[in-house]
Structure 1
Amino acid sequence: METAFSKLALHAVKDQLKENYTEEKEELLGQVEIWKYMTAFTDSVALKVAIELRVADIIDQHGQPLSLQKILDNIADAPCPDITFLFRIMRVLVRRKIFSTHQSEPSGETLYGLTRASKWILRDTKMTLAPMFLLENHPLHLNPAHYISDCIREGTKNGTAFFKCHGHEQFDLTGLDPEYNKLFNEGMVCTARIVSKAVIAGYEDGFNKINSLVDVGGGIGGSLSEIVRAYPHIKAINFDLPHVVATAPNYNGITHVGGDMFVSIPSADAIYMKWILHDWSDEHCIKILKNCRKAISEKTGKVIIVDHVLQPEGNNEIFDETGYAFDMMLLAHNAGGKERTEQDWKWLFAETGFLRYNIIKIKALPSIIEAFPI
């Protein structure tokens, strides 16, 4: 006959087993999480392979899902192709929903198709993220991350992680290495098209009242050309380092001007900066913004900043994780570059004489941040 004591003992044993099970499960899940982050880079490796081989473009050009062999037959410069390697790459990318699979009838052969994600890695289209992906996953951009711990120990007085890795800062290297400069510019142009489309759609009233606009750090003019195409009344200046604008194509309504934004900025109704300030420290940004303030009218001028507004932890907006990832990349690449919260932006504006600001969310990774002198 079960006594009260034995019942208590049985419950104690059950509770202990439950506690042990929970501890074991938690320990196992912790291990799984570390393995996950240890190997997370392999997703980028697989996607880079698909972009380099133009797998998405091959499928798109045929207008229908294709077999592995058909994809392989259409890969350029493949004298001795290996279908087993391609299968393993595609297997990963199907799991990540970059590509889809279908069974052909009646053979049952697996065919690979496009998804909403793979349409953004088409290299033969205007709206693509492929060049930016190849830039961010190039060894020149990946290797500096291995020096971040050194920067934490030593600071950055002797250079950023990028400098410790390559012996030059990022923007200096673009002037020294033509191939890197080309890779960098192609990445900037593709994101300019995507972001500019969202900016133009989300800032119609803002551009309508501007007669002159300077794009500071505008690269080879890709972003500005989209704005001027949509608003041809704007007289525009694409302003960047001399070696950058030297390779810029001619655009109607745009004048290319070489210079240094830390020295002075051409005057206009408004200053436009897309993904510029996040590359620089607060001290650098203060210099840039003060020069912007000098370049615009005290009463009617404004600065239009297209940059990320880092959200507090706990928010669930669709680009939040990407914002934190960009902050990590900036940690490796730039002298004090970082993504900023709204409070960070507010402080910068107060330090540089901009008494009012406004944040406009658009359908893209960054937001539009307007800053006004009065």
Structure 2
Amino acid sequence: MKSKKNFSVRLHLKITQGLNKENKEEEEEEALIGQAECWKYMLSFTDSVAIKAAVELGVADIIDHHGQPISLQKILDNIPDAPSPDISFLDRIMRVLVRRKIFSAHKSENGETRYGITPSSKWLLRDSKMSLASMLLLENHPIHISPAHYVSDIVREGTKNGSPFYRCHGYEQFEYTSLKPDYNRLFNEGMACTARIVSKAVIEGYRHGFNKIESLVDVGGGIGGSLSEIVRAYPHLKAINFDLPHVVATAPKYDGITHVGGDMFVSIPQADAIYMKWILHDWSDEHCVKILKNCRKAIPEKTGKVIIVDHVLQPEGDGLFDDTGFAFDMMLLAHNTGGKERTEEDWKWLFAQTGFPRYNIIKIKALPSIIEAYPI
């Protein structure tokens, strides 16, 4: 009987030891994965560095102009303004971008690696109408990146001393654009390139949205790139591109569009509908209430509408652009006092405060969605 009891004790100890060992191995594996994740996100900025370098060097355009995959030396030979190019540095950049599937790599019969275009690098073509190159250069410019180093300060102190952008540069972002012509140009070019991309998706995904209106105001329309695409698709529209005076002062002429300078916090030109692409996410709830109330005054009571092109954050979403929405939110945290991306509940609250009892969300093939807001 005693022997049987001792056996049970030994068996229990072995099982316990085995479980403890298994639990310890699982904990060690989880810790290792956690460490790897921290390294990954800690150094993720290097991907942007590599892509920015490729855009500045015109790598995608060089390959595209040849119409087929080409060697590293061929790329290097075609880089403009390169008095003493270094092929080893370019090799390291391309190695990263091939791994990230920005470019492809193919071995030729003689063993030489040749680099080709992928669906991702097509968006980096600087001479393409549908390109993200200008936006990429804006987002990776030191002026844009530096405010991120002040984000922890506003967690501690709030924004009583200004946004991270203000703390970094001494001016809020939209003041800074009016004072720095080069940054203003960079900013406008970035907005214009995304306007073309998003406008194409809006026109395709909102085919009947503009049919029943005769006049449209693009609030915060920049230099008119977004509105010009809409007017081209719907030439019956009488369109106004409305933005700050220093912005519209640099706007090119477009058929069917009148450029008007002003302040959306004071008043908005009247029209059948108001269009706002990536405007409200730049501002706090308090500011958005003012803007939307001015929109409400500018449109007809019964037939008017506001067409908002902006993010609708999905906290549990796993859609194609859902992670990017949260990245935009972090960017806004650094750049704007009160600017943020919003969930559907956040949008619903804003509309309730500003006289829009009815809204509709339409998903399109782009980063943002269309949000219609109606006064009745």
TM-score > 0.5, shorter chain as reference: yes
Give the corresponding residue for 2:218: 215
Deviation at 1:13, TM superposition (A): 2.4
Residue identity matched to 2:58: R
* Offset from partner CA, 1:18-64 (integer Å, 9 cap, x none): 12211211221121111111111111101110011010100000000
Give the corresponding residue for 2:254: 251
Deviation at 1:5, TM superposition (A): 3.7
**Equivalent of 1:33, from 34, 37, 44?**
37
Give the corresponding residue for 2:365: 363
**Equivalent of 1:51, from 52, 55, 67?**
55
The alignment partner of 1:180 has SS state of helix
Q: Superposed, which structure 2 residues align to 1:168-317 within 5 Å?
A: 168-313=171-316, 315-317=317-319
Stretch moving more, 291-300 or 28-37: 28-37
Q: Is 1:320 matched with 2:307?
A: no
Residue identity matched to 2:94: M
* Offset from partner CA, 1:94-140 (integer Å, 9 cap, x none): 111101110111x1111111111011111110000010011011110
The alignment partner of 1:207 has SS state of coil
Residue identity matched to 1:229: R
Deviation at 1:354, TM superposition (A): 0.7
**Equivalent of 2:168, from 157, 165, 176?**
165
Taking structure 2 as the reference length, the TM-score comes to 0.97
The alignment partner of 1:208 has SS state of coil
Q: Superposed, which structure 2 residues align to 1:19-168 within 5 Å?
A: 19-105=23-109, 107-168=110-171
d(CA) in 2 for partners of 1:370 and 1:102? 47
Give the corresponding residue for 1:330: 332
d(CA) in 1 for partners of 2:84 and 2:151? 40
The alignment partner of 2:24 has SS state of helix
d(CA) in 1 for partners of 2:332 and 2:38? 23
List alignment gaps of at least 5 residues for structure 2.
Answer: none
The alignment partner of 2:208 has SS state of helix
* Offset from partner CA, 1:206-229 (integer Å, 9 cap, x none): 101110000000000000000000
Stretch moving more, 201-210 or 242-251: 201-210
* Offset from partner CA, 1:62-114 (integer Å, 9 cap, x none): 00001110100000011101111001000111111101110111x11111111
d(CA) in 1 for partners of 2:13 and 2:296? 76
Give the corresponding residue for 1:14: 18
Query: What RMSD over aligned residues (CA atoms) do the two structures have, in Å?
Result: 1.1
Residue identity matched to 2:67: G
d(CA) in 2 for partners of 1:5 and 1:373? 76
Deviation at 1:3, TM superposition (A): 3.9
The alignment partner of 2:210 has SS state of helix
d(CA) in 2 for partners of 1:123 and 1:153? 41
d(CA) in 2 for partners of 1:350 and 1:24? 51
Give the corresponding residue for 1:351: 353
Residue identity matched to 2:332: L
d(CA) in 2 for partners of 1:21 and 1:360? 48
The alignment partner of 1:204 has SS state of coil
Deviation at 1:6, TM superposition (A): 3.3
The alignment partner of 1:340 has SS state of coil
List alignment gaps of at least 5 residues for structure 1.
Answer: none
d(CA) in 2 for partners of 1:264 and 1:157? 27
The alignment partner of 1:205 has SS state of coil
Residue identity matched to 1:85: F
d(CA) in 2 for partners of 1:339 and 1:166? 23
Residue identity matched to 1:29: I
